[in-house]
Amino acid sequence: MGQHSSASGSRLLGLDGFQVVSAELQGGEWQLIVQTTATVVGCAGCGVPATPHGRRTVRVRDLPIGGRPVVLWWRKRLWRCREPACQVRTWTERVTAIGPRAVLTQRTRAEACRRVGKDAHAVAAVARDLGVGWATIMRAVRDYGTPLLEDPTRLNGVTTLGLDETTFLKATRRAPTRYVTGLVDLEGGRLLDLVADRTRAAVDRWLGARTRDWLARIGTVALDPWRGYASALVAPLGHARVVVDHFHAVRLANTVVDQVRRRTQQATLGHRGRKPDPLYRIRKLLLAAHEQLTQRGRVRLRAGLALGDPTGEVVAAWQGKELLRGVYAADGTADARRALARFYHWCDGVGVAELSRLARTVRTWEAEILAFHSTGGCSNGPTEAMNLLVKKVKRVGHGFRNFGNYRLRLLLHCGVRWQTHRTARLRGRYPRLVA
Ligand SMILES: [Zn+2]
């Protein structure tokens, strides 16, 4: 392209109000000299037509073209007011596509937000791709992401509310583990919000911020067997059915299996589980649903237990977990009651401390566990899926320190709907009409 503006080049750039003066490929990057098409502007102070006062070039990064990074050399116009009585003397032009002192065009900032939010790319990776700092990208994520979160229609249409506790920060030597509570739309399968803490007060505050209509539409609440939640629900959601869903009950039982396994390892080997230890090697098999194990898995499980569980306590805990799973697999409430009786009978009989504690928790939550069947097996899929997404975002974020950023990232990934352009198919899925 020559030193004159190119109409097709400008169309390809597609940046409102700008034209391309020249384009050059340097070191694999497009260097585009651009300018605005404005020729006449009035002074903001007096309205008299301004006179050009030279140009100043600023460089900003724009979206890639043809897979190549793009740098815009914007020949920014300076204007001057000639009106003697006017206070305004000179100014530089302003455009909406590029903010003052920006290093990225606005559309690039929006795209950075989409990559970090929707695609869960690491902020550092996006920053590297665009040749800017981490803070620049994070600012773009906040600027473009916050309105999506604050959209008042975002929380519409929720009928089944799930409450889930996840760890936010693992304990360090200086600080205890910090928890957050995730609020999930179990029908729509999306994260509604995240509140810092897993206490009654935290959930209470969130529910308190909802309208009466919104609360009235919630028919079922599925939760973690954590006492604080239940009491938080009483006032605003007294009309809803409370369910301890499959996912949370099994997670609780799995924790018990893990505890007994660790205690047994310590008692028999005198140290924490290591790679070659028989129980450590079957730790994942112990947590898996029994009917989903392969023949080989079952053989390994039996062999590991025969070697590493001389007192039979791990087997007992494992059996307890499977019996609790049976309560959820039961065919209707009456059948679930019988399964529950088998579970209690087992826990009372084997005398494993951790299992007895589990049985006590289950007794406390018995009505909510059985309610699982009367709500037509309130799905735990979304909670489970949400937990996987949370883990993914956490992994990408390399452990968050800042709750605000964490909430923003998670909600952008699994709590908002992204408007995306549907790309036209070049080849249809139907047989060609012309042979
Ligand atoms: Zn003026």
| Least-confidence region, from 11-20, 170-179, 276-285 | 170-179
Query: Given pLDDT bands bounded at 50, 70 and 90, which one contains residue 2?
Result: very low
Q: Check residues 319 and 414 and name the one with the higher pLDDT.
A: 319
What is the distance in A from the centroid of ligand 1 to the CA of 38? 18
State the sign of the Cα–Cα–Cα–Cα dihedral 379, 383, 384, 385: positive
Amino acid making up residue 422: R
pLDDT score recorded for residue 209: 92
pLDDT score recorded for residue 226: 65
What is the distance in A from the centroid of ligand 1 to the CA of 48? 6
Q: Check residues 337 and 398 and name the one with the higher pLDDT.
A: 337
What is the distance in A from the centroid of ligand 1 to the CA of 33? 29
For residue 73, is it left (φ>0), alpha (ψ between -120 and 50) or beta? beta
pLDDT score recorded for residue 1: 42
Query: Given pLDDT bands bounded at 50, 70 and 90, which one contains residue 399?
Result: low
Q: Distance (Å, rounded) from C-alpha 255 to C-alpha 300?
A: 21
Write out the H or E segment, with its range, that includes residue 228.
helix 227-234
pLDDT score recorded for residue 63: 94
Amino acid making up residue 20: V
Q: Check residues 161 and 4 and name the one with the higher pLDDT.
A: 161
- In this predicted structure, the answer to whether residue 431 has a pLDDT above a threshold of 60 is no
Which ranges of 270-331 does DSSP label H, i.e. alpha helix? 278-281, 283-287, 295-308, 313-329
What is the distance in A from the centroid of ligand 1 to the CA of 76? 19
- In this predicted structure, the answer to whether residue 293 has a pLDDT above a threshold of 60 is yes
- In this predicted structure, the answer to whether residue 430 has a pLDDT above a threshold of 70 is no
Percentage of residues in the chain having pLDDT higher than 70: 91
What is the distance in A from the centroid of ligand 1 to the CA of 37? 21
pLDDT score recorded for residue 5: 61
pLDDT score recorded for residue 377: 59
Q: What is the mean pLDDT of the chain?
A: 87
What is the distance in A from the centroid of ligand 1 to the CA of 57? 24
pLDDT tens string 183-212: 888 888 888 998 887 777 888 889 999 999
What is the distance in A from the centroid of ligand 1 to the CA of 39? 17
The structure tokens listed for 181 are 């509570």
Measure Cα distances from 258 to 68, 69, 286, 293, 312 in Å: 50, 50, 8, 18, 14
What is the distance in A from the centroid of ligand 1 to the CA of 51? 10
What is the distance in A from the centroid of ligand 1 to the CA of 17? 23
Q: For residue 107, give the nearest of 64, 171, 53, 49 by alpha carbon.
A: 64
Q: Distance (Å, rounded) from C-alpha 152 to C-alpha 160?
A: 19
What is the distance in A from the centroid of ligand 1 to the CA of 88? 5
Do 242 and 371 touch, CB atoms closer than 8 A? Answer: yes
| Pairing of the two strands 68-80 and 190-196 | unpaired
Q: Distance (Å, rounded) from C-alpha 265 to C-alpha 255?
A: 15
pTM value > 0.85: no
What is the distance in A from the centroid of ligand 1 to the CA of 89? 7
The structure tokens listed for 204 are 């209470």
| Least-confidence region, from 272-276, 299-303, 327-331 | 272-276
3-state secondary structure of 246: helix
What is the distance in A from the centroid of ligand 1 to the CA of 342? 88
- In this predicted structure, the answer to whether residue 153 has a pLDDT above a threshold of 80 is yes
